[in-house]
Structure 1
Amino acid sequence: MKAIVSATIETVTGDAIENGTILFDNTGILAVGEGLVPPEGADVIDGKGLFVSPGLVDAHTHLGVFVQGYPESMADGNEKTNPLTPQLRVIDAVYPHDPGFVDALSGGVTCVQVLPGSANVVGGQGAILKTRVDVVDKMVVQAPSGMKAALGENPVRVYGEKSNTPMTRMGSASLMRQALNDALNYREKKEEAERKGDFFEKNLGMEALLPVIEKKMPLRVHSHRADDIATAIRIAEEFQILYTIEHCTEGHLMAPYLAEKNVMAAVGPTLVGRSKLELKNKSWETLTALYNAGVHFCIITDHPVIPIDQFIVCASLACHAGLPREVALKAVTLWGAEHLGIADKVGSLEAGKDADIVLWDGDPLDARSHVLKTFIDGEEAYSLS
C-alpha cells in the first residue's frame, strides 16, 4: 500500500481537501480524506506543500500512430486509399515506444483515447489506453472505443486532389450516410441468413459498423466548422446513433443549439495557430460559451498537434480566458472520462477507482508547477527525480 499524506488533494468531485491523505495500491484508490492514518508498513510520501490530482484524461490523441521524430511518410494514422475504412483498428498501428507516451507521463496524463486521423469519412476504430509503456495490449482500457469519422476540409482535400468522392462537404455527408445505410442492410441480410440457417459471408467493414448502428459504440465525428457540426448531428439523428463532436472549433457560434441537442464535445486543439480555413474562428471563447450554455465538453490536445505534455497548460489558458478553475480541472480529468464512458474507472479521486494519481509541486493549473510523480494503477510510472 502507498499513502500520500499532508497534501492538498484535488478530488475533482468536491472541494479540495487541505492536509489530506490518499491511500492506494494496485487494486485502486482505497480511501481519500482528512485524518486518515496509513497502516503500518505502508509506503508513505510526505505531501506537505504539494498537490495531488487525478491522472489527466485526454479524450482525443494520435499517440503512437503519428510517432514523434518519424517522417510523415511513415505515419500510420491515415489509410488514404478509400474514404470508407471502418474495418481499420488503431490498436494495430499504435507504437508504444513513441516518445509521446513518456511525455504524457511527465505531464500527468495517465489515460488517452487514440484515434485514426481524419483523412477518411469513416476512418476506423479507436482505443482507450493507459500511458504506462508496455505491450500495447496490456495498455488497453477499452478497444474499440468509438468509430472515427470526419467531415470538413480533410477528406475533401485528400480525395478531391485525386478527383474522387468526396470533393465537397455534400460528398462527405453522402458517403457517411451510405456507410451507415449499408450497415443497416447488412444487418438485415445477416439476420435473415441466420434465421434460415444459410451461409453468410462476413464483411469486416460492415461488422465494425454494427456496434454503431446498434447504439453500442459512438461515432466520433471530426467537425470544426459550424455547418459540419450541424451535419454530424443531423446524420446521427437520422440513424439514431450515439455520437460525439470532436474538435467543435466553432461551437461557440451555436452553443445553445448544442445544448438543446445534448451534444458531448471534445474541444481542441486550441493552443495552435489557424493553419487552415476551418480554424479561422478558433477561440478560447468556445470553452466558456459551451460551459455557459450547459454543453458537456472536455479539453483535448489532438497530440501531436499540441504536445501532450502541455495538456495542463491548455486548462490553465482556459482559466485565463474565463473558465472557472474547478471547471478547467474537470475538463482535463472527469469530463474527459465521461466523454469516453469510463468515468466509473478514472477521472476523479474516489475510493474504488483506478489509482491513477499525479503528485505536483504546486497548483496543477499554475503553468509553473511540475509533475513530481505519476502513478498508474497504483504503480509509479514516472518520477521527476
Structure 2
Amino acid sequence: MLAITNAIIYDGKGNRFEDRALIVEKGKFTKLIPVNEVTDSFRIINAQEKVLTPGLIDVHTHLGISEEGVGIEGADYNETSSSVTPSLRAIDGINPMEIGFKDARRSGVTTVQVMPGSANVIGGEMAVLKTAGNIVDEMVVKAPSGMKAALGENPKRFHGGKGRMPVTRMGVAAQLREKLIEAQNYLQKEEKERKLDLENLAKVLKKEIPLRVHAHRADDILTALRIKREFDIDMTIEHCTEGHKISEFIAEHNVKVSVGPTMSTRSKVELKDKGWTTIKTLIDAGISCSLTTDHPVVGIDYLATSAVHAIRNGLSEQEALQTITLNAAKHLGIENRVGSIEPGKDADFVIWSGSPFDLMAKVERVFIEGEEV
C-alpha cells in the first residue's frame, strides 16, 4: 500500500485536508487516515506540504487524432469527404504515442475525451482515455462516449465552400434531423442488414450515448436544444461561447456544458463575444460546466491555466477545480471512476509544488491508477 503524507489535499468535491494521509492500494484510492496512523508497512511518499489534487480531465480534445508538428499526415480528425459521417470512430485514428499525450501527463491531465473534428454536421463517435500507455484499447475508459455533431460556421465553410449542402445554418440542422429520422426508421424496421452509420446513431436515440454538439453562437445553441426536444435525446453543448446570453434557457434543458477554448483568439465570427465570464454565468444559472482547451486549438498544457483565468473572472478556486475534475467526469459519465479523491475510484492524482491556481506552481508528480507516469 502507498501512503502520501503531509500534503494539502483538495479532493475535487470542495473539501480541503491538511492532516490526512491518502492511502492507495491496487490502483484505487482506499481512504484518508490521520497521519499518525501511517506505519512502516506502507510505502510512503512525504509530500512536504505540497498540494495534491485529483488528476485533471479535459472533456473535449483531439489529442492523438490531430497530431502536432506532422501536418496532413497526422490530420485524422475530419473526414471531409462527406458532411455526415456517424460511422466513424475516433478510436481508429488515435496515435497514443503522439507527443500531446506526454504534454498532457506533464501538465497533470490524466483523462481526456478524444473526438472527431467539427467540419461535419455529424462527425462520428468519440472515446475517453487515460493519458498513459502505448495501446489505445488498454487506455480506454469509455468508448463510445458520445456522438459528435456540429452546428454553425464549420460545416458551412468546409462543405458549403465546396458547393454542396450544407450552405446555410438551415441546411446544417436539416441534415442532422434527416439522419436522426433515418436512424429512427432503421430502429423501427429492425432490419437484418447492418448499417454502421445508423447503428451508431441508434445509440443516441436509445440514450446509450449523448449527442455532443459543437455550438458557439447563441442561435446555434438554441437549434441544438430544439433538436434535443424533438428527438428526446441526451445532449451536451460543446464550447457554448455565447451561452451567457441565454443561460437561464439552457438551464431548463438538463444539459451539461463544456466551455472553451477561451484562451484562443477570436479567429472567426462565432468567437467575437467569447470571454471568461461565460462559465461563471452558466454556473450561477445552475448548469454543470467544464473547461476545455479543445487541444490542439489551445495546448492541453494550458488546462490548469484556463482555470486560473476563470478564477480571475469570478469563479472560486473550488468551482474552478471542479470544472477540470469532478464536473468534467460527470460531463463524460465516468464520475464513478475519476474526478475526485474517494474510496474505490482510480488513483489518478497530481502533486503540485504549490497551489495549482498559482501560475508559478509546477506539476511535480503525476499518478494514473496508482502508477507514477
Q: What TM-score do the two structures reach when normalised by structure 1?
A: 0.95
Task: Decide whether aligned partners of structure 1 residues 13 and 66 sit closer, same or farther in structure 2, where only a CA change above 3 A counts.
Answer: same
| Kept in 2: contact 1:17–1:34 (CA 8 A) | no
CA distance in 2, matches of 1:40, 1:18: 21
1:325 aligns with 2:317: yes
Q: Of the candidates 322, 340, 364, which is equivalent to residue 356 of structure 2?
A: 364
CA distance in 1, matches of 2:300, 2:343: 27
1:306 aligns with 2:298: yes
Q: Of the candidates 241, 262, 275, which is equivalent to residue 249 of structure 1?
A: 241
Which AA in structure 2 matches 1:248?
A: C
Aligned length: 373
Q: What TM-score do the two structures reach when normalised by structure 2?
A: 0.98
| Kept in 1: contact 2:82–2:120 (CA 8 A) | yes
Which AA in structure 2 matches 1:211?
A: K
Task: Decide whether aligned partners of structure 1 residues 284 and 14 sit closer, same or farther in structure 2, where only a CA change above 3 A counts.
Answer: closer
Aligned partner of residue 345 in structure 2, secondary structure: coil
1:94 aligns with 2:86: no
1:137 aligns with 2:129: no
Partner of 1:2: 2
Cα distance, 1:367 vs structure 2: 1.1
CA distance in 1, matches of 2:174, 2:159: 14
Q: Of the candidates 293, 311, 334, which is equivalent to residue 342 of structure 1?
A: 334
1:269 aligns with 2:261: yes
Aligned partner of residue 352 in structure 1, secondary structure: coil
Structure 2 gap segments, 5+ residues each = none
Q: Of the candidates 307, 315, 324, which is equivalent to residue 307 of structure 2?
A: 315
Cα distance, 1:73 vs structure 2: 5.5
Aligned partner of residue 146 in structure 1, secondary structure: strand
| Kept in 2: contact 1:28–1:354 (CA 8 A) | yes
CA distance in 1, matches of 2:297, 2:20: 36
Task: Decide whether aligned partners of structure 1 residues 129 and 36 sit closer, same or farther in structure 2, where only a CA change above 3 A counts.
Answer: farther
Cα distance, 1:35 vs structure 2: 3.4
Q: Of the candidates 370, 376, 381, which is equivalent to residue 368 of structure 2?
A: 376
Partner of 2:105: 105
Which AA in structure 1 matches 2:346?
A: D
Partner of 1:203: 195
Q: Give every structure 1 segment of 4 or more consecutive aligned residues whose post-TM-superposition deviation is greater than 2 Å.
A: 33-42
Task: Decide whether aligned partners of structure 1 residues 319 and 104 sit closer, same or farther in structure 2, where only a CA change above 3 A counts.
Answer: same
1:120-145 CA distance string (max 9 Å, x none): 10000000000012211110001000
Alignment RMSD:
1.1
CA distance in 2, matches of 1:349, 1:139: 20
Task: Decide whether aligned partners of structure 1 residues 39 and 207 sit closer, same or farther in structure 2, where only a CA change above 3 A counts.
Answer: farther
1:71 aligns with 2:71: yes
Partner of 2:229: 237
Cα distance, 1:39 vs structure 2: 4.4
CA distance in 2, matches of 1:93, 1:57: 21
CA distance in 2, matches of 1:80, 1:47: 49
Aligned partner of residue 126 in structure 1, secondary structure: strand
CA distance in 2, matches of 1:92, 1:73: 15
Comparing 333-342 with 7-16, greater Cα deviation is found at 7-16
CA distance in 1, matches of 2:42, 2:104: 28
Partner of 1:290: 282
CA distance in 1, matches of 2:340, 2:208: 25
Aligned partner of residue 23 in structure 1, secondary structure: strand
Aligned partner of residue 96 in structure 2, secondary structure: coil
Cα distance, 1:24 vs structure 2: 0.5
| Kept in 2: contact 1:26–1:379 (CA 8 A) | no
Which AA in structure 2 matches 1:348?
A: S
Which AA in structure 1 matches 2:154?
A: N
Which AA in structure 1 matches 2:362?
A: H
Structure 1 gap segments, 5+ residues each = 194-199
Cα distance, 1:261 vs structure 2: 1.7
Partner of 2:182: 182
Cα distance, 1:339 vs structure 2: 0.3
Comparing 372-381 with 20-29, greater Cα deviation is found at 20-29
Cα distance, 1:358 vs structure 2: 0.5
CA distance in 2, matches of 1:215, 1:173: 20
Cα distance, 1:72 vs structure 2: 3.8
CA distance in 2, matches of 1:234, 1:82: 24
Which AA in structure 2 matches 1:285?
A: T
